[in-house]
Every structure is written in C-alpha cells, then in structure tokens.
Structure 1
C-alpha cells in the first residue's frame, strides 16, 4: 500500500469515541498525509493585519512544506506569496519579520516588488521576460484583522467562516489593537495532540491552577450539542442584549466554533486576581463581565476575547513530533506598557498554562510511542470537545483519502 492507502486504513480502524492509535500520531507516512490532506488544503491562520501596518512590512511562516511570506504592498493591500525565488528557489525573506522597500533574493539579487512582480534579474539575456517570473501568490483572506492563507491552488470557500465569525469579533475592534507580547513555544509532540489537549479541560483541575482563577469550562459548548446550562443561557442573554453575539455557532463540518462563556465568580479577565489586566476596553458593550469569547478554526487556531484584551493562538506542525504554538496578547493600540498594563500581570496566566500544556503534550507523545499503548475511550461527560476534534480529523481524512 502507498502512504495514502495505509493512512486511510489506520483512520478506518479507529473505534468510535476512542482516541487515535499510536501510528496516527507517530507514523511518518501519516504525517505526510496530514500535510497533504489538511495543512496544504485548509485555511491557516497566519497573523494579524496590525502586525504589518506599513508598506513593506512582512512576516514569514512555514505551512508544512511551504514557506510563505505575508506582506503589505505599496497600495496598502495585504498579500501572501510563496517565499521561494523564481530563479533557483532560495527563500527571499529569511527573517521571521521585517520591513523592505522591495523583496530582494539574497542569493542572486533578483528583485521583486511588494506586489510580487519581478523588477530586476541581472545577466539573464535579451530573451528573458520578467513578467513570466513573478512570485507565486498564496490565497489570502482577511477577517477583522485575522489573516488567513491557503497554499492550495484552489482554496475552500472562505465565505461561510467569514459570515459566522465576523459578528462575534467585530464588537471587539481588533483593527484598533496591537501585539503587547508574543510567545513561541515548540512542543515536542504531534500537532493533533496539541489540539486535543486544547479541546478539553478534563485535565485542568490538576494542571492549571493559574488559569482556574478565572476560567470555568462549560461542557454545554464542547461542540457536540446537548442541553443548555441555565447560567450559560443567562450569560448569553445578557451579552446579546448589549450587542455581543454569544450563542454557540458551529461549522457544517465541525471545523469551526464560536461561543461566549462566563468566567468564574467575580473574574473578568485572565489574571491571577481575576481583575482586568488592561485599563480600558476592547468592546463598547458597557457590561463589565462579558466572560470569554472562544473561537477555533481547525487545524491552526484557537482564540480568547475578554473585555480588556484578547489572545490569538496559532498552531503549525514542524514535524511528526514537533509543533510550534504561537501566542499573542492583544491590547488596544493606545495602551501603554507600565501605564495601562503590567506585562507580567497580563501574560502570567497563559505563559504558565502554555508551559503546563506543553509538558502534558510531550508526556502524552512519549507515552503513545510505546508499542504497548492502546487507545482508550473518551469520557462522555468531559471529553466531548476532544472527541469532536478527532471525529473531524478522521472524517476529513476519510473523505479526502478515498478520492
């Protein structure tokens, strides 16, 4: 069997409401198919528009086998390109971020405009046509400061996700924000374990004391239906009356979810005290305790929006056993560090939580590599969210590998 056939067979062997098998986390052929069928075909969260406010500002990322550069051009348009020179393939932008008037390949100085057009290529002769050798574009969409890219030739329809997420994000005015702090953490585990860990709080009581000063998981919004919690319904009604969409919305295939949940009693932000971390508000609802807006889009991002700040998380697979998790703390653009917020107070809860999650993922990856490992059943009470993610993964792989 080839890698697609063997991966499909492994996916089909998964028992309903059970974890994935050892091979689906560790096998290199499976990882190759994860890249081919998911990461190279889905919309991937790249970064925020306010990270590249001026023409020439750019950032880079690696989506599976594809190096990508995202740049703002001279007209103010955000564009994405394959970060490979049209000459002999060198990466053009080799830093994580920067600012250039033009995109110049370090190898042979081929020079591209910020719109991707080739402007200069020395010693190529009279027959050479620069119009045929511009940078290869990458599909790029923007929704309320979030830049999403897709490296496939034909990207999935972005409109359903845009229509669903916009009403939730819009009241938080992210276009008027900045990154107060960025964390990049390499977790030595498979990307699926990283997302599985995020999709349940079954582990929180024993692992996340800082987070539990404010966060309370509501099992009614795990993403698989079920009865509404009266407290949750009351919170939704309060927030929606103030102009903040809150009720659970799920994508047709289960690939995205948006909802707002209450925090613990007297907590309004992710801080050790539960008090606001930032002076001022992201929203104009007039409601102090709006809880936390949670949204995810598989396979690359989950997000938390509070009254005073927001957090965006990006997941990128580096190998079958390494995953990059990038966290950005977002605050109003005019907020001043040391005046309107203390950086340690702002970041302490999630820096601790991220590192705790890293340890959980790494220990799980070590464990599932054992030939003795056998997948166990998910809790019907506390693991419906992680089951929903695993179901989405298996359904997606079955559909695409069967073609």
Structure 2
C-alpha cells in the first residue's frame, strides 16, 4: 500500500466517522448517556476537536497572569499550540505559536516575558503584535516581511478572563456573555489579583465525562465530604430539591448582597454560559475545611465575606467559583479520546503575602481533594463505558438536568458546526 492509498484510507475512514457521528447524535435519547463510541472512539474524538475545540470560544487563562507588556503564556489546544501575549499597547493578543518560516514553535515555555518573539530555530523575530521584524538577508532581496506575520487567533477578554477561538473566519457570538461577565466580576477588581497556586491533573477519561461529572451534584454526598463542609448541593433556587429553609437562606443572603451592590441575579446565555451566585452553608464564608477565610485580604471592593460562591459556567471547557477572598477557576483541555487535562488556579488579592495573608495548603485543601475524587470518578466511569456491558443509561431529569443541558449543547454544536463544514 503506497502513501496515496493510505491517505485515501484515512479520508474514507473520517468520512465514515462523520456519518456515524451524525447518526449517533441524531438518534440519541436526550435523557440518556451517550453511546460508547462518543466517549472512546479516536476518530469521533478527532471530530470533537475539529467541530468543538477548533471552532468554539475556549477559556485559556486570566488577564492577571499577563500583568505587564511582554508577558506571555502558551497553551496546547489539541495539536494547536497557541501563544497569548500582552503587547506594548497593553492589549492582549493571541497567535498560533508557529513560526512562519518552517513552522517551529516560537515560545516553548508555559509562560515568560519577552521584548520580541524570536524563533529558536532560525531566529526569525516578531514584535508583540505579530509583525515579522527580522529574517536573515539570506531570504533574498525579493522577500517581503509584511507577508509573513504571525497568524492571529481570535481573542477576547472580560472580567479578568481570556478566551480564544481557533475558527477561521467569523467566530461564534459571545459578546452578550462577556458583557454580563464583566458586570458580575466588577466587584473583584480582577486586574489587582494574582494566581497564588495552580495544579494540573491528567485524567484518563473523555473530556465529556469530565464535564458531565461537574454538571451534577447527584454524586456529591457519596464522594465529596470536604466540599460538602461548606457547599450546598442545590444548583440554584429553582432546583427541585430546594427546601423552604434553603430558599429563606438564599433570600436573606440576597438582601445583604443587594445592600453592597453585588450582582447575583441568575443569568443564562443559551445552554453554553451560566452565572449564578449561591450562598454557602449558614455560618461559613468560603470553601475551606472550616468555612473560615482563606485569605486575610478580600478582593476588590468586597466587604461582606459571606458572598457565597458565584458559579460561572462556560462550555465547553470551564467552570469557576468566585468567593469573597479567593477565586477558583478551572480549565479543561482534551488530549485524546480517553485523556483530559484539568487545570485549577486559585487567585487572591495581588498584595496578599503567602505565609502572612494566606497559606497555600489551606487555600487548596478542599479542591485538591475534590479534584482527585472527581478524577477517580471520571476514570472509573470511562473504564465502565469501555466495557461490552455498557449501554446508555437514564439521567435523572431533576438531579442531572445540568448534564442533559450540556449534552444538548454538545450535540447541537457538533451537528451545526459540521453542517457548515464537512458533514
């Protein structure tokens, strides 16, 4: 078999995979888990990457991680290395982290600071807006530097969050969510925060199982003793499990938030984005083992330490908990059909001093335990799904409605993006 036969075989395999993807998504039952191939097949995973992670807005990091001109971070989205940098005008730019000469990665570290972007291979050099400013004279007198700037990636910021989109052409709409995000994050003054610590877990599970696990607390009472020291299991005031006592607690907290001008109205932008501020258990302030402050300094203009947790969802790859003295942001990036990276970052006031205002171990204790527990749950879920004994099982329409909503968004997104492209 020659190389052309192999190319045709790969092409035909992908075309068949796309037909299978359409059939599985169109025929699925909305209130049941997905068929096995959608959780473990490498070709269907490749379609997930092409139709979701290469076309939708993704959370990649926080603006406070790039406080000064020349600060940069890198991220790998599948096989796409991306570079995010603050330019000399103070704007955050994103580029494909690929030199226009022969394709080498420009920046090989996770983060750093540069005056210019210089390729380590042949020293082609770009300014912080992606313009090629140096290529050796050996390129010849007819070489036009203006034609070889870095390829930009769509990039938007709001409320301290950085989002990128790899899509060619016009990206999907996100401005309504970003406007709301900026409003709801205003009390925290995100430009005056810093990442105190972070972790990345490699989970041997499909990315959708990682998100599904996050979208319900049906499993919490049996799996998360540390988290439930402070967290109330109810998703919001419309949760069918909500008790009269819980609703009264919510109302009392809402009145105190109103007095301080803290946004808390439940907000949804389609199935993709959601913001809701929920109180924690009475007598607790933040998600620590004892419910007491994790940091002496509150954030921004916050005075009331009982802000509960403002939960922010952004599909396909982020959930977040915003509290009075520290913030916790989560980023999900698929690696393969059965491998996913989950990065957690804990943010505090930029002037907070480790060892004086906060202790990293105390800051991390609850969510380090919860993340490990969730990793184990997702990995055992994957092992069971890989079995010949697996078949899609029913979701609870009350306890697991968040999972149903996520899979509705996922199916709609893959089918719609596919119709615009290759399906």
**Shorter-chain TM-score range:** over 0.9
Which residue is 1:266 aligned to? Answer: 283
Q: Which runs of 5+ in 1 are unaligned?
A: none
CA distance in 2, matches of 1:219, 1:244: 19
CA distance in 2, matches of 1:376, 1:352: 28
Which residue is 1:117 aligned to? Answer: 131
Cα deviation digits, residues 161-200 of structure 1 (max 9, x gap): 1122222111111111000001111111111111111111
Cα deviation digits, residues 259-300 of structure 1 (max 9, x gap): 001111211111111100000211535323111000011011
8 Å Cα contact 1:221-1:248 kept in structure 2 = no
- TM-score, normalized by length of structure 2? 0.91
| Structure-2 change in CA distance of 1:128 and 1:222 (3 Å) | farther
Which residue is 1:236 aligned to? Answer: 254
Residue aligned with 2:236, SS = helix
| Structure-2 change in CA distance of 1:107 and 1:285 (3 Å) | closer
Cα deviation digits, residues 322-380 of structure 1 (max 9, x gap): 11111110000000000001111111111111111111111111111112201111113
Cα deviation digits, residues 85-127 of structure 1 (max 9, x gap): 1011111111111112211111111111111111111110111
Q: Shift in Å at residue 23 of structure 1?
A: 0.7
| Structure-2 change in CA distance of 1:105 and 1:237 (3 Å) | same
Which residue is 1:326 aligned to? Answer: 343
8 Å Cα contact 1:258-1:293 kept in structure 2 = yes
**Superposition map of 1:349-360 within 5 A:** 349-360=366-377
Q: Shift in Å at residue 226 of structure 1?
A: 10
Which residue is 1:339 aligned to? Answer: 356
Q: Relative to structure 2, which stretch is displaced further, 255-264 or 149-158?
A: 149-158
CA distance in 2, matches of 1:71, 1:247: 34
8 Å Cα contact 1:223-1:384 kept in structure 2 = no
Which residue is 1:208 aligned to? Answer: 224
| Structure-2 change in CA distance of 1:223 and 1:185 (3 Å) | farther
8 Å Cα contact 1:316-1:325 kept in structure 2 = yes
Q: Give the one of 232, 249, 256 matched to 2:267.
A: 249
**Root-mean-square deviation over aligned CA pairs:** 1.9
Which residue is 1:167 aligned to? Answer: 183
Deviation beyond 4 Å, 4+ runs, structure 1? 221-228
| Structure-2 change in CA distance of 1:314 and 1:121 (3 Å) | same
CA distance in 1, matches of 2:238, 2:412: 18
Which residue is 1:383 aligned to? Answer: 400
**Superposition map of 1:33-44 within 5 A:** 33-44=47-58
Q: Shift in Å at residue 227 of structure 1?
A: 11
- TM-score, normalized by length of structure 1? 0.95
Q: Shift in Å at residue 141 of structure 1?
A: 0.6
In the comparison of the two structures, how many residue pairs are matched? 402
| Structure-2 change in CA distance of 1:248 and 1:346 (3 Å) | same
Q: Which runs of 5+ in 2 are unaligned?
A: 1-14
| Structure-2 change in CA distance of 1:86 and 1:98 (3 Å) | same
| Structure-2 change in CA distance of 1:74 and 1:284 (3 Å) | closer
Which residue is 1:108 aligned to? Answer: 122
Q: Relative to structure 2, which stretch is displaced further, 176-185 or 281-290?
A: 281-290
Which residue is 1:145 aligned to? Answer: 160
| Structure-2 change in CA distance of 1:285 and 1:397 (3 Å) | same
Which residue is 2:203 aligned to? Answer: 187
8 Å Cα contact 1:186-1:325 kept in structure 2 = yes
Cα deviation digits, residues 216-250 of structure 1 (max 9, x gap): 12143689999994433443343233211112111
Q: Shift in Å at residue 3 of structure 1?
A: 2.6
| Structure-2 change in CA distance of 1:262 and 1:18 (3 Å) | same
CA distance in 1, matches of 2:239, 2:17: 31
Which residue is 1:128 aligned to? Answer: 143
8 Å Cα contact 2:192-2:300 kept in structure 1 = no
8 Å Cα contact 2:240-2:398 kept in structure 1 = no
